[in-house]
Chain A
Amino acid sequence: MAQIAQPEMREMPVSPVALRRVSWAWLGVVPFFLFAIAFMILPALSLISGSVQDRQGNFTLENIINLSQPFILNAYWLSIRISLVTAIGGGLFGFLLAYTVTVGGLPKSVRNGLMTFSGVASNFAGVPLAFAFIATLGRVGFITVLLKTLFNIDIYSAGFNLYSFVGLSLAYMYFQFPLMVLIISPALDGLKREWREACENLGGNSWHYWRYVALPILLPSLLGTMILLFGNAFGAYATAQALTGGSLNLVTIVIGAQIRGDVLNNPGLGYALALGMVVVMAISITGYSWLQRKTERWLR
Chain B
Amino acid sequence: MRRGTFWSWLWISLGALYFLLPLIGTFIFSLRARRDELSFAAYDSAFSDPRFWEAFGFSAMMAVFTVIVSLLITVPTAYWVQLRLPRLRPIVELITLLPFVIPAVVLVFGLIRIYSRPPLALTGAIFTTNLLLIAGYTVLSLPYMYRAVDTGLRAIDIRTLTEAAQSLGAGWPTIIWHIIFPNLRTALLSGAFLTFAIVVGELVLASFLARPAFAPYLAQLINNRAYEPAALTIVSFLITWACIGLISFFGQHRAGGESQLAGPR
Cβ–Cβ < 8 Å partners of B244 in chain A: 116, 119-120, 123
CA distance A234 to B244 in the complex (A): 25
Report whether B85 and A115 are in contact in the complex, using a CB–CB cutoff of 8 Å.
Answer: no
**A132-B76 contact, Cβ under 8 Å, with A36-B95, A233-B264:** no
CB of B222 within 8 A of CB of A127, answer yes
Is there an interface contact between A281 and B100, defined as CB atoms closer than 8 Å?
A: yes
- In the complex, which residue of chain A has the Cβ closest to the Cβ of B215? A127
- Set B8, B204, B218, B261: member contacting A100, Cβ < 8 A: B8
Residue among B92, B102, B243 facing the most chain A CB atoms (10 A cut-off)? B102
Instruction: Report the separation of the CA atoms of residues A110 and B137 in the bound assembly, to the nearest whole angstrom.
Output: 34
A130 to B223 Cα, complex, angstroms = 12
Instruction: Give Cα distance in the complex from A112 to B256, angstroms.
Output: 9
> Which residues 37-52 of A have a CB within 8 angstroms of B?
38-44, 46-47, 50
**CA A33 – CA B100 in complex, angstroms?**
17
Q: Which residue of A lies closest to B93 (CB)?
A: A289
Residues A39 and B100 in contact, CB atoms below 8 Å apart: no
Q: How large is the interface on B (under 10, 10 to 19, 20 to 34, 35 or more residues)?
A: 35 or more
Q: CA of A136 to CA of B18 in the docked complex: distance in angstroms?
A: 11
Contact, CB under 8 Å: A237 / B256: no
B243: chain A residues at CB < 8 Å are: 123
* Chain B contact residues, CB within 8 Å of chain A: 1, 4-5, 7-9, 11-12, 15, 18-19, 21-26, 28-30, 72-74, 76-77, 80-81, 83-85, 88, 92, 95, 97-114, 135-136, 138-139, 194, 197-198, 201-204, 208, 215, 218-219, 222, 229-230, 232-233, 236-237, 240-241, 243-245, 247-248, 254-256, 258, 260-265
Interface residues of A, Cβ cutoff 8 Å to B: 1, 25-26, 28-29, 31-33, 35-36, 38-44, 46-47, 50, 93, 96-97, 99-101, 104-106, 110, 112, 114-137, 141-143, 173-175, 177, 179, 181-183, 185-186, 231-239, 241-242, 252, 255-256, 258-260, 270-271, 274, 277-278, 281-282, 285, 289
